[in-house]
Structure 1
Amino acid sequence: MSSKTILAGLLALILSCMPALAGGDGGGSRDSGTSAGGGQRSGLSSKATRTVVTTLTRGFDRCGTLPQVYKFDCFRHTYKLAAQQLSGNQAYAEAHKALVLVEDTLTAAVKQNLDPAQKPKRKGLNLYRAVKPAAVPQIKRQAETAMKQAETILLRSPASKQEHYTRIAQAVNSNKVLLRSALLPGAMIRLAWSLLKTAVPA
């Protein structure tokens, strides 16, 4: 059992005990396309995989510092950026599909539940929109379902892609576990973030 699986299980245990608190190159594909980073390259590569994994993990880290109602638009932006990094590289076609699935789910959920009473909040160079507080549980469920579906797509990829796709699936799983912890007290959220960040390979 990998350290990632152990840590994810540990966090799940923490959550269940608190009910009162509410990559070297590999698998060389010859498909043409654009790699992460925008260069005219094709095929699977450690650099492209690492870029996407870093975007997903650091993106959720950054989103975690926002008030809860703004997190989902930030999560949406994170998956949009990660998907863009794989766009055009056919070796990552299934991974791109998986990330777009999560992005589209969050885009629709945020759009349908925008809170006009709250002004957008800036984080770095981006502005994030707030959703209605009452909609948070529903959006979390929708996002978690999309992430599970994305994991399934990634883990069912051809054997030649598994080394790279498994790493992306691990990052999505980390996001999913952190999403479940969103209602925990601040100290527990920071602990979860720290544990899962260190579990994803650089």
Structure 2
Amino acid sequence: MQVSISVKAILVLAGVAVSGFFTSSGQAAWTGASDDSSLDLSVESFGSHEILGEFKRPDPNAGLLQLAFSDDVTQAIVNQIQRGAGECSRLEAVYRLDCLQRVFAQASGAAGRKPDYSAANGELRKLSKTLKGIVGKNQDRKAPKAKLGNKSYRAVSQAALREVNKLASKAIEEATTKLLRSAGNSKKRKVHYTRIANAVNSTKKILRS
């Protein structure tokens, strides 16, 4: 009986000590954490500052980097290429290539920062740059710029049009091949990259009409 009483006494004393510790030092430490302006959850009174440290708000854009392939994103890229090519086809033939290079440049940004589309974005940017270079080397500087909505486009020389379109078609075919190869052995990647590659390849028809 005497041993039992001693154990109870020890437990009571320990409870009082712990309660006093948290109601004094603990309360003072956590009171400062309620200030949302600083969001500092450090509890230096408990000697655990290095464990909790300073709370930092998460980057709202950080999650975008983790997203994988999406049917909606792939379709957005395809739609932008197809709609853009459709608009370019409304222009005279000498203006279409400058229009088309801009379409690919814009489509390269449709997927944002999603890493699974980085290879596709890169190929679209390269293709746009190649087509832009072809236009620059063969531009008809005497011809007025064509306007479509709030955008304007440069003309290539009528005399060089056939050769220009031939070079552009070759560049488009090469980009299509590279997009398909970029899929690697991933079946899921292949599905999405094939859709993008087909959209890119389909734009050649506006250079032949």
From 52, 65, 69, the counterpart of 2:90: 65
Q: Contact (CA 8 Å) 2:165, 2:208: kept in 1 or not?
A: no
Q: How many residues align?
A: 144
Aligned residue number for residue 163 of structure 1:
191
Deviation digits for residues 83-117 of structure 1 (CA, Å, limit 9, x no counterpart)? 12235322112211221222011110111111111
Q: Which has the higher contact order (CA 8 A, sep 6+)?
A: 1
Aligned residue number for residue 208 of structure 2:
181
Q: Contact (CA 8 Å) 2:89, 2:206: kept in 1 or not?
A: no
Cα distance in 2 between the residues matched to 1:106 and 1:65 = 19
User: TM-score when scaled to structure 1?
Assistant: 0.66
Q: How does 1:1-202 map to 2 (within 5 A)?
A: 40=64, 42-156=67-181, 157-158=183-184, 159=186, 160-176=188-204, 178-182=205-209
Q: CA deviation at 1:163?
A: 1.3
Cα distance in 2 between the residues matched to 1:85 and 1:143 = 22
Aligned residue number for residue 31 of structure 2:
none
Rg: which structure is higher? 2
Q: CA deviation at 1:148?
A: 1.1
Give identity over the alignment, percent. Answer: 32
Cα distance in 2 between the residues matched to 1:67 and 1:172 = 20
- Going from structure 1 to structure 2, the CA distance change for 1:147 and 1:73 (only over 3 Å counts) comes to same
Cα distance in 2 between the residues matched to 1:141 and 1:100 = 20
Deviation digits for residues 54-98 of structure 1 (CA, Å, limit 9, x no counterpart)? 011111111101011111110111111111223532211221122
